[in-house]
Amino acid sequence: MTAKTLFEKVWEQHQVVPESADTPAVLYIDLHLVHEVTSPQAFSVLRAQNLKVRRPERVLATMDHSTPTDPDEVFGRVPIKVESAARQVKEFEKNCREFGVELHDMSSDTRGIVHVIGPELGATQPGKTIVCGDSHTATHGAFGALAFGIGTTEVGHVLATQCLLQRRPKTLAIEVTGKLRAGVTAKDLILAIIGEIGVSGGTGYVIEYRGSAIEALSMEERMTVCNMSIEAGARAGLIAPDETTFAYLKGRRFAPQGKAWDEAVARWRELKTDPGAKFDRVVSIDASKLEPMISYGTHPGMVVPISGTVPEVANDPVHAKALNYMGLHGGEPMVGKPIQVVFIGSCTNGRLSDLELAAGVIKGHKVASGVRMLVVPGSQQVKREAERLGLDKIFTEAGAQWRESGCSMCIGMNGDTAGRGEYAVSTSNRNFEGRQGAGARTLLASPATAAAAAIAGKIADPRAYLPH
């Protein structure tokens, strides 16, 4: 038998029709995640062609992108402020009702960011193919699933046929050895990886993250790493499932139970890259050399270690354009730069352990004057668990705002935005121009770095603030 990579195993198990020179593979999709922003036009196509959703039980629908985070708006005590968002939410409810899709709606206690609730409900499982009209679907690869983002036309394809037409991508192994040092998080690791391979370094590839540093990560940390695969251009990033994965999934709502659980775990154990299997490309990273990272520019590859300076690049108009937008100068140190906004949340860093990390830094301190800090749990379940631990109190007593779950300031569709020219230290994943609001300047970092900046009122090394 030929040695196979994890990706190849999952791919081959889902070929309804293998690819040929003339046609791409017909790939079966086990789980389709759907949200309000990228689905309306797909439902319209189904309606126009008189088609049904082929497998409604394989669709998990939630609302997260354009939904409010203000509790009064969420629970209907006041109207949703952004009218177009309110209409979009209404239309989504109607579509789900009409096509028989279970929706985790606004009042649901299982609602949340699509990439947070899939794993949390146990719907995300090793070996599955998972898609969503959202580029951060790679998050679910943390469980050894082949998960990737698709466009709205493809959302329609999957709704109607449970299948997608796909050409087989190439494979890229990212081997991470060594041990992350204290104060260096999974977020810093993935930012460093993107800085290393570049924002298109993964284009055309599926990444497998492997090596001792990856195996040592918790599930939530693995999700943070896989989440940002698209920021390196890769549609999917996977990690082989292991005991950490099984322990996380056991007992969750959609996880197999009893005998079916044991059988599933036995199957899942096979899902690792065989010794000797070949990748199209291999990149090695030494985790023990990394520092906390922060972005300085307008794409996620423009990152430096927190103790670093803004790179000087001569005769590069694109670099100059980015620095001009960011209001930064080559050679200037990152630490000490005053900031106005801190955002803790998103599908990258909006899980319980992220909030715990930020709370640990904030506890007993105050958010600096002139800084607005927003803490937005990734799901209603994360919110409840955080409140049980008293994290909400730690944040609000420090002067931060504690909100209902959603994408919020990661994308700014619901009115949660950073202002023009404001510096926002954000635990999200994109620092594109205008991503967090027109003219807003995003500095991507870990929850620890974001929390440290909130206290200091300027960019600060989180290691000086971590509890001992």
Contact 236, 150 (CB under 8 A): no
CB-wise, 352 or 444, nearer to another protein?
Answer: 444
Cβ at position 317, least distance to another protein in Å: 8
List of residues 6+ apart from 137 with CB closer than 8 A: 33, 115, 130, 131, 147, 148, 149, 150, 236
**Interaction mask 28-57, another protein, x per CB under 8 A:** x--------xx-xx--xx---x-x--xx--
SS3 readout for 255-304: CCCHHHHHHHHHHHHCCCCCCCCCCCEEEEEEHHHCCCEEECCCCCCCEE
Q: Considering the rule CB under 8 A, would residue 85 count as an interface residue with another protein?
A: yes
- Which residue from 225, 407, 424, 448 is in contact with ligand SF4, where contact means CB under 6 A? 407
Query: Which part of the chain contacts another protein (CB under 8 A), choosing from 121-129, 212-220, 230-238, 365-373?
Result: 230-238
**Of these partners, ligand SF4, another protein, none, which one is at the site of residue 160 (CB under 5 to 8 Å by kind)?**
another protein
List b or e across 179-203, with b for residues whose CB sees 16 or more CB atoms inside 10 angstroms.
ebeebbbbbbbbbbbbbebebebbe
> What is the Cα–Cα distance from 341 to 345, expressed in whole angstroms?
13
Beta strands 170-177 and 281-286, pairing class: parallel
| Residue 412 interacting entry, from another protein, ligand SF4, none, C-beta within 5 to 8 Å by type | another protein
Which among 81-89, 110-118, 187-195, 458-466 is the span making contact with another protein, rule CB under 8 A?
81-89
Among 229, 346, 414, 426, binds ligand SF4 (CB under 6 A): 346
* Amino acid making up residue 74: V
Distant-in-sequence, close-in-space partners of 44: CB < 8 Å, separation ≥ 6: none
Q: Which residue is it, tokens 């030929």?
A: 2
Stretch in the footprint of another protein (CB under 8 A) among 80-88, 102-110, 170-178, 281-289: 80-88
By a kind-dependent CB cut-off of 5 to 8 A, residue 113 interacts, out of another protein, ligand SF4, none, with: ligand SF4
Task: State both tokens at 463.
Answer: 């290691």
Answer whether 222's CB lies under 8 Å from 229's CB: no
- Residue 347 binds which entry of another protein, ligand SF4, none, CB below 5-8 Å type-dependent: ligand SF4
CB within 8 Å of 47: residues ≥ 6 apart: none
CB 346 within 8 A of CB 444: no
Residue from 12, 254, 39 nearest 143 by CA: 254
Among 162, 224, 245, 429, the residue binding ligand SF4 under the rule CB under 6 A is 429
Judged by the rule CB under 6 A, the positions of this chain that interact with ligand SF4 are: 64-65, 113, 115, 134, 136, 346-347, 407, 410-411, 428-429
Judged by the rule CB under 8 A, the positions of this chain that interact with another protein are: 16-17, 21-24, 26, 28, 37-38, 40-41, 44-45, 49, 51, 54-55, 65-66, 82, 84-85, 87-88, 91, 133-135, 149-154, 156-157, 160-163, 165, 167, 199-200, 203-204, 230, 233, 235, 299, 301, 317-318, 321, 411-413, 420, 430, 432-435, 438-439
